[in-house]
Amino acid sequence: MWTSDIRAAVMVIAMTSRAVAADVGPVVGNPLIEVPAGRFIFGRVDGPENERPRRELEGQAFAINRTEITNRQYGLFVKETGHRTAFYANHPILGLDDHPVVGVSWGDADAFCRNYGLVLPTEQQYERAARGTQGSAFPWGDVPPGNTRANSGADVCCSGDARDGYPMTAPAVSFADGASKEGVLNLVGNVWEWTRDVYAPYEGGTAARSAGLYRVLRGGSWNSDKNHLTTTYRLAYDPEFRFSANGGFRCVRSTP
Amino acid sequence: MRPFYTLIVVTGFLLLAAGAGAEPTAPAGYRLETFNTPGAAFAGLSRDAGGLLVSDLASGRLYRRGADGKLVAFGPIFPHGLDVIGDPTGPYHVVRAGDDLVIAQGWTPVGSKEGPFDHALVALDAAGQLRVINSDFWNPFDFIVAGGSYYVVDAARNSVERVEPDGRKSTLLTFQRMGQAATALRSLSPTEFAEGNSYEADAVPVGIALHGGRLYVALFGGFPFPAGAGKIVSIPEAGDRSTPQIDVEALNAPVSIVFDKGGEMLVLEHGTYDQKDGFRKASGRLLKFNKGGRERKTILEGLTRPVSVLVWDERRIVISELGGNLYVLTRVSAR
């Protein structure tokens, strides 16, 4: 155990140093981090039924925003396009410039990404970015988040708490200890992140199929308990819902 | 579970900008008159001798409507604007209390520096001078005057407060969160609101009335305002107030409560809430309950974002809407 932990730590450092494999990207102040093609683990068998089965997939390379889209970045998009503002744009905490934008529907998030030639990540891209290639429990490995790796909530669903320093959202650039091996921040915690995918059972899965059309959010947020604060939890929601104080997004650029 | 739509501890009561709605129609036996003031967002109603008092959240003004039907502004312009989630805030309610008029002023508008009159009970004397009675509220949405005291509902602390004329304040009751069946929210998320699940919503007090020695409180039901989650509860004005009595359930966001001359309870429902678009147009209603509270009758429907109801006399009822409407409903037939 010790040996593998030390090896893992060394790899984290090594891979983190490779986080320079990024370009500035089209979203000012939010570079795109390269995630290389290759095999990775998707899904798991020891969680909720809708996360099954666990499969090894071949993924294409893509690049993902280093941080969740911020209020400043979303505000610039609104100014440039005339798109509607985020619901909590004026909130004294949720609306801070360097905090992730919240109060956006799936359509709002999709429009932002497309405006910059990007798209929302798929669930597979999210899991590859958040779990690495080996299907880790968290972006940093398998140890629980604690108060330094993720902005999460109370022990019992679903209240925020400030044990991690933030009663609500934290700045998008925060919790460096919780970065992924590629250097992507807050893939777990802070805000749920819209994905591109329609909610449905995984291929080979046995979860019930929903009657309506829902999009999936990933990653948990500042008010999530440990059951929701995972890299595999699938939160299906009405894509038009825009009143959430803990739902945001980031974008990806897929490599053809 | 409610991991995504979440809390909104600051929300309390959503008063999203009202859109124009279909005009309500008078029920049989009643005549309905509509008085619209473009741009206004009318809130609390009260009677001052022969005049109707109404506050306007859009302008921060207080108005008196006399026998000629004209609205005349008086007093200062109170802080007004939108709060952090886009709801109008300002003077919620003005009520005569002896020689003064007392105003319940909402919380600080976004972008404004907090002032002495924000989230406060404020007295306006005959000389036009303002005096803060108490500003230790978060969102004092409604109040009544009884026996020289003020009974205030704080729609953010979810409490009923008693305030003496000298400003001393005591909390009579703080409402706990209300459990709700997840059924109403299943369309929002199949993973979070599955069959058999439940969740909790804030019990937001927004209206208060005193009748027969009991304080009746309208509990709006917190975000996301599921249909049927509203309640009317009551506590004794004096005595053990620890356990409120549930008088009426299954209401759609009750916002104002009043008793008519015959002792029957009138409840104004703000409306039903669409998770995508907010409160539905024309979904507000005025309901009347018999003395036992068991039988309900719809007096008026088709209201859009109504806020306050006032019994004017034995035949007339006045209702305000955020869209700038004042309705006068007059009973023209015998009971």
Long-range contacts of B239-242 (CB under 8 A, 24+ apart): B241/B172, B241/B173, B242/B173
Amino acid B48: pLDDT: 96
Amino acid A134: pLDDT: 97
Q: Residue A165: how many CB atoms within 10 A of its CB?
A: 11
The pLDDT of B64-70, averaged and rounded, is 93
Contact residues, B window 65-84, toward A, CB-based 8 Å cutoff: 82, 84
Amino acid A23: pLDDT: 78
Nearest Cα of chain A lies from the Cα of B317 at a distance, in angstroms, of 35
Encode pLDDT of A128-171 as tens digits: 999 999 999 999 999 999 999 999 998 877 777 889 999 899 99
pLDDT of B311 above 60: yes
Amino acid A37: pLDDT: 97
DSSP chain A: -HHHHHHHHHHHHHHHHGGG-EE--SSTT-PEEEE--EEEEE--SSS-GGGPPPEEEEE--EEEESSPPBHHHHHHHHHHH-PPPPTTTT-TTTT-TTSBP-S--HHHHHHHHHHTT-BPPPHHHHHHHHHTTTT-SBTTBSS--TTTS---B-SSTT-B-STTS-SS---SS--GGG--TT----SSSSSEEEEEEEP-PPTT--PPPPSS--EEEES--TT--TTTSSSS--EEE-TT----TTEE---EEE--
Between chain A and chain B, the number of residue pairs with CB atoms below 8 A apart is 88
Task: List the CATH number of the domain containing A43.
Answer: 3.90.1580.10
Structure tokens at A120: 């929302």
| Domain count across chain A | 1
CA–CA separation, A194 and A218 (whole Å): 7
Cβ B110 vs Cβ B84: under 8 Å? yes
Residue where the block lists tokens 């806020």: B307
The pLDDT of A19-28, averaged and rounded, is 76
Test the A interface: residue of B6, B186, B276 with most A CBs within 10 Å: B6
- Residue A91 forms contact with B (CB below 8 Å): yes
CA–CA separation, B15 and A45 (whole Å): 45
Test the B interface: residue of A90, A151, A188 with most B CBs within 10 Å: A90
Closest by CA position to B264, among listed B285, B291, B299: B291
Amino acid B5: pLDDT: 42
| Domains and their CATH numbers in chain B | 30-331 (2.120.10.30)
pLDDT of A219 above 60: yes
Closest by CA position to A209, among listed A195, A196, A199, A194: A199
Amino acid B196: pLDDT: 66
What residues in B contact A220, CB-CB < 8 Å?
A: 3
Torsion sign over Cα A168, A174, A178, A184: positive
% of chain A with per-residue pLDDT over 90 = 75
What residues in A contact B275, CB-CB < 8 Å?
A: 238, 240-241, 243
Residue ranges of alpha helices (H) inside B56-187 are none
Cβ B247 vs Cβ B254: under 8 Å? no
Residues belonging to chain A:
256
Structure tokens at A181: 């091996």
pLDDT of B111 above 90: no
Encode A103-126 in three state secondary structure.
CCCHHHHHHHHHHCCCECCCHHHH
Residue type, B130: L
A22-23: strand order across its sheet:
A22-23, A32-35, A62-65, A252-254
Strands (E), B155-252: 159-163, 169-174, 178-181, 198-201, 205-211, 214-219, 230-236, 245-251
**A236/B189 Cβ within 8 A:** yes
What residues in B contact A199, CB-CB < 8 Å?
A: 190-191
Amino acid B239: pLDDT: 84
Provide the mean pLDDT of chain A. 89
Cβ A42 vs Cβ A223: under 8 Å? no
pLDDT of A13 above 80: no
Amino acid A243: pLDDT: 84
Q: Residue A253: how many CB atoms within 10 A of its CB?
A: 19
DSSP secondary structure letter of residue B314? S
Rg (CA), chain A: 17
Residue type, A116: Y
Amino acid A160: pLDDT: 76
Closest by CA position to B202, among listed B241, B174, B227, B182: B174
Amino acid B266: pLDDT: 97
DSSP secondary structure letter of residue B333? S
Amino acid B11: pLDDT: 31
* Beta-bridge partners for A214: none
Top-confidence residue, A202 or B111: A202
Provide the mean pLDDT of chain B. 88
Top-confidence residue, A242 or A108: A108
For A156, nearest residue in chain B (alpha carbons): B1
Amino acid A230: pLDDT: 97
Encode pLDDT of A31-78 as tens digits: 999 999 999 999 999 999 999 999 999 999 999 999 999 999 999 999
Q: Which of A160, A199, A237 sits opposite B4 (nearest CB)?
A: A237
pLDDT of A20 above 60: no
- Residue B196 forms contact with A (CB below 8 Å): no
pLDDT of B103 above 90: yes
Contacts of B34 (CB under 8 A, 6+ apart): B23, B325, B326, B327
| φ and ψ of A47, to 5 deg | -125, -160
Give first-to-last CA distance, chain B, whole Å: 48
Contacts of A117 (CB under 8 A, 6+ apart): A26, A253
The pLDDT of B22-38, averaged and rounded, is 89
| φ and ψ of B258, to 5 deg | -155, 160
Nearest Cα of chain B lies from the Cα of A245 at a distance, in angstroms, of 7
CA–CA separation, B176 and B178 (whole Å): 6
**A236/B191 Cβ within 8 A:** yes
Q: What are the counts of helices (DSSP H) followed by strands (DSSP E) for chain B?
A: 0, 30
pLDDT of A79 above 80: yes
Q: Residue B81: how many CB atoms within 10 A of its CB?
A: 16
**B189/A214 Cβ within 8 A:** yes
Cβ A29 vs Cβ A211: under 8 Å? no
**A212/B187 Cβ within 8 A:** yes
Cβ B29 vs Cβ B300: under 8 Å? no
DSSP secondary structure letter of residue B185? G
Encode pLDDT of B150-177 as tens digits: 999 999 899 999 999 999 999 999 998 8
Q: Which of A208, A223, A240 sits opposite B6 (nearest CB)?
A: A223
For B110, nearest residue in chain A (alpha carbons): A90
* Beta-bridge partners for B130: B124
Amino acid B14: pLDDT: 27
Top-confidence residue, B10 or A128: A128
Amino acid A256: pLDDT: 59
A155 lies in which domain range? 2-254
